[in-house]
Structure 1
Amino acid sequence: MNTQTRSNASLEGVASVGRALTLLSAFRKGDDAVTLAELTARTGLVKTTIMRLAITMEAHGYLVRLPDGSYRLGAELFRLGSVYQQSFRMEAHVMPALERLVAQTGESASFYVRSGEHRLCLYRVDSPHRLRLHVRQGDMLPMDNSAIAQVLRIFGTTPLPQEAATTPVPLYTGGERDPHVAGVATPVFGPGDNFAGALCLTGPVTRLTWDAAETASPMLLQVAAELTRSLGGVLPAV
């Protein structure tokens, strides 16, 4: 085999590893043990393939086969999850997303979380324009009727209310907290479908108009979806 062939093969990945990861990803929140038939239905893999993969994954602690033939996740995944949590830095994921939004739209980009009856600006990248909303990381603002607060209120509720299914995102408001300020916001989710926070653009109402927000919305939604994936989340089925 020549060098070029080996290089191409390495770029294609390993099919068996892909199938093993597909098997792990078939387990869902709330699962205790999953039958072989259900794993087959969820993955599209044949039963014999699942059984062969499971033997190796059991040996390495990733799966446990129960006496009734069903499977549950093994303790090695818990260990890796703990390592991931200790090493995870949300800032490393959020800040590049905010910088990208500012570069694409010219408006300030922020990431908010809820803190009681306030919304906390956790991360922020300012617009290059001199005329902009002066909010800093760590600032606490009221849970008013702004687009940001609405996203935090609606999507931060567990379980998701029916309102989430009928709320078009991103949300846009102008002049809710300050008559001179407009904002457009959309939810971001973390591991599973857990709500992580609100990703938003803010600017003066004279510049971030409804039409300008409509133009920026596809980019905001794309970045929010990518950030959700990088945080280990999935968009919830509402």
Structure 2
Amino acid sequence: MVLELERRWIPLEGSRNFRDLGGYTNHEGRRVRWRHLFRADALGTLSDGDVQRVRGELGVRTVVDLRHARECALKGTAAFADGEAVRLHHLPLNRTDVPDDDPLPEMDDLGAVYLWISRGVGPVLARVMQCIAADDAVPLVFHCAAGKDRTGIIAAVLLELLGVPDEVIVADYALTELVGQDIRPEDRAAVFHAYQQDGPPAEALNARPHHMVTFLEGIRTVHGSVRDYVATYGVNEPLIARLRERLLE
């Protein structure tokens, strides 16, 4: 189910980690719809052929860019998002408040880093969920620099709200290890550049399964459940019901 790469991974000239989140079966036996929701790395270097495929064959209507504004200025944004046929939402999943009593964890423990990020981006995460649930939003792609960290957080929370089992969420996260090896190291660790100048350790470049396990377990330890975590920021049951209606077969 996870390794249906011929259907799940969308090979593009200007993107190395553009993937379909469809096909995953939840606890109720319902499947996430194919060709409705995509996760990706940066989209600023898509070729003309890529753009034709994304807009034509895939029919993408909405782009959610999770990168910091300076990343967008340096690397470019999805030029095919024209504001009419394809809408662009810039919703940076970067912490802006870093209090002294909540320092950034060691970056070789990505699961702890994801938990640290989640403590400061709840309102933005909620806005991402609202964008996905909006009328005429799908097909939709959300992305960051490498499609690994910020994108991984959004994918994990969304799939969990759809009722997808943890083992599938973890496996989907780890697919970056298979399809994203050509992503440049500076992009694979782009999220960390916002918090310190020194280069991150090698482990921060990876997408090991245990990092996502740590994140999901940590959310539940602190909040009780992923639903309780997002409810704090306004992701209520009616919104979750809309997500399920739009994205589950």
> What TM-score do the two structures reach when normalised by structure 2?
0.29
Task: Compare CA radii of gyration and give the structure with the larger one.
Answer: 1
Answer 1 or 2: higher relative contact order, Cα 8 Å, separation at least 6: 2
- Structure (1/2) with the larger strand percentage: 1
- TM-score w.r.t. the length of structure 1 is 0.30
